[in-house]
Amino acid sequence: DADVTQTPRNRITKTGKRIMLECSQTKGHDRMYWYRQDPGLGLQLIYYSFDVKDINKGEISDGYSVSRQAQAKFSLSLESAIPNQTALYFCATSDSGQGTYNEQFFGPGTRLTVL
Amino acid sequence: QKEVEQNSGPLSVPEGAIASLNCTYSDRGSQSFFWYRQYSGKSPELIMSIYSNGDKEDGRFTAQLNKASQYVSLLIRDSQPSDSATYLCAVNIDYKLSFGAGTTVTVRA
């Protein structure tokens, strides 16, 4: 089945460490997104990419960076992790062929804890 | 003002009843609208998409859109215990989704 996968699924790290979260998809979609979710706050967009050469900041990009290594791969890095980056992180994809509809499909998520 | 607001909940409904979820949005340029279901600790799952005014039905789910009032709703008919989850309203603005904070629904037996 075409799918969105994320690694790792759980990660505990310490303040100041560099962390990379990875996302891969077999849906053939060209658009990819990174979100974080905090309890009671819904999903907030961190970065998004409409194709391999396109990277855009979302509403909460400070402290994060991304790399789009291929159409199917989009990685999120925390340069120097801090405790308030403890959250659930989701990758999502969508297909530009849908035009304005932009249905997005989510990976299983990474639970990140920064001590 | 948040871009997307949902009734805060939690919403408790008896099994077999109708659950009604509401969402308002601020950007009149919004092009498409979605409802996601999210079980605790899991990822959001797309359950309904709606793009034009009116109703759209899919099984026990009905989405309603009123662009003039900037309002989208979700009705869950014949609610089942498996419908107990948080429902997220999402609005597409310039190919990015803005999400509401979610409404938690509990279906009690």
* A42/B34 CB distance under 8 A: no
DSSP state, residue B68:
T
Alpha-carbon distance values, A67 to A27, A71, A77, B94, B101 (Å) = 19, 11, 8, 22, 28
- Interface mutation vs chain A, best among B96, B98, B103, most A CBs within 10 Å: B96
Contact residues, chain A, for B42 at CB < 8 Å: 108-109
Question: pLDDT of chain A along its 115 residues, tens only?
Answer: 669 999 999 999 999 999 999 999 999 999 999 999 998 778 999 999 999 999 999 999 999 999 999 999 999 999 999 999 999 999 999 998 877 788 999 999 999 999 9
3-state helix, strand, coil in chain A (%, to 5): 5, 55, 40
Name chain A contacts of B90, Cβ cutoff 8 Å: 43, 104
What rounded mean pLDDT belongs to chain B? 94
pLDDT in the model for residue B94: 83
pLDDT of residue B68: 94
First-residue to last-residue Cα distance in chain B: 37
Closest chain B residue by Cα to residue A87: B41
- What pLDDT sits at residue A41? 78
What is the token pair recorded at B41? Answer: 């600790």
The span from the CA of A97 to the CA of A101, in Å, is: 9
Rounded to the nearest angstrom, the minimum Cα separation between B3 and chain A is 12
* Whether B101 contacts chain A with CB within 8 A: yes
CB contact under 8 A, B96 and A58: yes
Q: Shortest CA distance to A20 belongs to which of A60, A65, A61? A: A65
CB contact under 8 A, B99 and A43: yes
Which residue numbers in chain B have pLDDT < 50?
Answer: none
Tell me what pLDDT residue A23 has.
98
The distance of B108 to chain A (nearest Cα, Å) reads 22
Contacts of B10 (CB under 8 A, 6+ apart): B103, B104, B105, B106
Report yes or no: B76 and B64 within 8 Å, Cβ to Cβ: no
Using one digit for the tens of pLDDT, what is the confidence trace for B8-34? Answer: 789 999 999 999 999 999 988 888 999
- Inter-chain Cβ pairs, chain A and chain B, closer than 8 A: 60
Residues with Cβ within 8 Å of B95's Cβ and at least 6 positions away in sequence, in order, are A31, A50, A94, A100, A102
The confidence score (pLDDT) of residue A1 equals 65
Other C-beta atoms lying within 10 Å of the C-beta of residue A2: 10
- Check residue B1 and give its pLDDT: 60
Which of B32, B41, B102 is the closest to A102 by Cβ? B32
**Burial (Cβ within 10 Å: 0-12, 13-18, ≥19) of residue B36:** buried
